[in-house]
Amino acid sequence: MKSATPGPSTSPAEVTNVSPHGFWLFVGERELFVPFSQFAWFREASVRAIGNVQRPSPQHLYWPDLDIDLAIESIEHPEKFPLVSQAQPNKRLQPTKARRRSVKRPKRSSRLRG
């Protein structure tokens, strides 16, 4: 006997409260706090956009208005997912010290022109 295709989630995600420090998210049978200090891309979002959350799979959340995907584990254990860029600067695009020194700045006149 084969199992039927799973239907829509019976445990949706719901934002229960928003504060200046973050928001509370009810997922399944537990409530999680999402601090803006660790999830900065929500900081400037509207309450409406934060409240529009979907749970496309048991361990995945999606905010369509913000185009943000998060694993529930990243909210439960943010220390495992540090928000540190690993990108290296492109040194070819950086001005050299000699080039920075050679850039002439306009002189300030001590006299006012009328």
Does residue 94 have a pLDDT over 70? no
CA distance 36 to 57: 24
Nearby residues of 59 by Cβ (< 8 Å), 6 or more positions away: 71, 72, 73
CA distance 80 to 85: 14
SS3 11: coil
**Higher pLDDT, residue 29 or 1:** 29
**Higher pLDDT, residue 102 or 12:** 12
* pTM of the predicted protein model: 0.62
Does residue 9 have a pLDDT over 50? no
CA distance 102 to 24: 53
